[in-house]
């Protein structure tokens, strides 16, 4: 056997791989079958060794074996390599951005205690809340409890894919007061009452009186009429949505505010 010839075990050891890996390269036709000894052993030349090292170096850059085969078989391998590396560089840049974003999220969770409750909070502001804020923001100042309630409930609702019905319904509801400026006074009254309810008891006799007054103004019926023509969210999705809203009412609204809302919508 020529001193320049290496068996598969020897060439695998030099490359830091297993003989099985070298055989896999043969199977994929990344390297041609070498000459064999009289005993049937593959005999590799120094050129084969360098060819296999090239494959390993390309793999270390993140290229797949299929990509490597295309490059090595191409009439202009250097040009194809540059194109492939440019694409890989762009992909890695995107991945790096996503990894950094994830790292920052994890750091924030660690700073805030890393509880399951914290992890379950939405990571991005709610586009639905932003829409309502845009439509309602100039009408009257919101009490803090309502602002927090709206932020949380819309943020949680927006994390699920309810379908176009949800988006259309939210856009219609948000645009109601903008399209009905005559109800601006009604909205101002509603905000004032919610502010007062923060320090009132749930059994205060004014609650049913206020709810009756607000109903008598007719805006709830008009809003319902605007929404009635829209496709409804089917069960059990509607029940899940109601659960999210109810849970946030328990967490962010006072008992008096919750009771007022229940009276207002007739529950």
Three-state helix/strand/coil letters over the chain: CCCCCECHHHHHHHHCCCHHHHHHHHHCCCCCCCEECCCCCEEECHHHHHHHHHHHHHHHCCCCHHHHHHHHHCCCHHHHHHHHHHHHHHHHHHHHHHHHHHHHHHHHHHHCCCCHHHHCCCCCCCHHHHHHHHHHCCCCCCCHHHHHHHHHHHHHHHCCCCCHHHHHHHHHHHCHHHHCHHHHHHHHHHHHHHHHHCCCCCCCCHHHHHHHHHHHCCHHHHHHHHHHCCCCCCCCHHHHHHHHHHHHHHHHCCHHHHHHHHHHCCC
Q: What pLDDT does residue 73 have?
A: 94
Highest mean pLDDT among 51-65, 120-134, 137-151: 51-65
Rounded mean pLDDT of the chain? 85
Q: What pLDDT does residue 88 have?
A: 94
Q: What pLDDT does residue 95 have?
A: 93
Dihedral-angle region of residue 16 (phi above 0 means left; psi in -120 to 50 means alpha; beta otherwise): left
Please give the structure tokens belonging to residue 112. Answer: 């805030």
Q: What pLDDT does residue 16 have?
A: 95
Q: Tell me phi and psi for residue 142, to 5 degrees.
A: -85, 145
Q: What is the pLDDT of residues 5-45, one digit of tens each?
A: 899 999 999 999 999 999 999 999 999 989 888 888 899 99
**Between residues 21 and 241, the one the model is more confident about:** 21
pTM beyond cutoff 0.75? no
Nearest partner of 10 among 55, 36, 49, 58, judged by Cα: 49
């Amino acid at each position: 056997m020529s001193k320049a010839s290496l068996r598969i075990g020897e060439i695998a050891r030099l490359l830091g791989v297993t003989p099985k890996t070298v055989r896999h390269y043969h199977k994929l036709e990344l390297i041609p079958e070498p000459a064999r000894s009289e005993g049937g052993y593959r005999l590799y030349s120094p050129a084969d060794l360098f060819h296999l090292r090239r494959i390993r170096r390309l793999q270390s850059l993140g290229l797949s074996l299929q990509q490597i085969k295309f490059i090595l078989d191409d009439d202009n391998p250097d040009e194809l390599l540059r194109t492939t590396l440019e694409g890989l560089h762009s992909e890695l840049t995107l991945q790096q951005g996503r990894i950094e974003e994830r790292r920052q999220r994890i750091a924030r969770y660690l700073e805030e205690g890393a509880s399951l409750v914290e992890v379950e909070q939405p990571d991005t502001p709610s586009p639905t809340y932003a829409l309502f804020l845009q439509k309602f923001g100039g009408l009257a100042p919101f009490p803090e409890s309502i602002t927090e309630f709206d932020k949380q409930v819309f943020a949680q609702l927006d994390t699920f894919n309810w379908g176009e019905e949800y988006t259309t319904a939210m856009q219609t509801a948000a645009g109601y007061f903008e399209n009905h400026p005559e109800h601006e006074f009604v909205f101002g009254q509603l905000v004032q009452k919610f502010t007062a309810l923060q320090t009132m008891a749930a059994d205060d006799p004014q609650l049913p009186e206020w709810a009756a007054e607000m109903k008598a103004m007719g805006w709830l019926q008009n809003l319902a009429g605007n929404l009635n023509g829209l496709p409804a969210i089917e069960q059990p999705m509607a029940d899940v949505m109601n659960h999210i809203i109810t849970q946030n009412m328990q967490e962010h609204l006072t008992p008096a505010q919750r009771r007022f809302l229940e009276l207002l919508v007739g529950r």
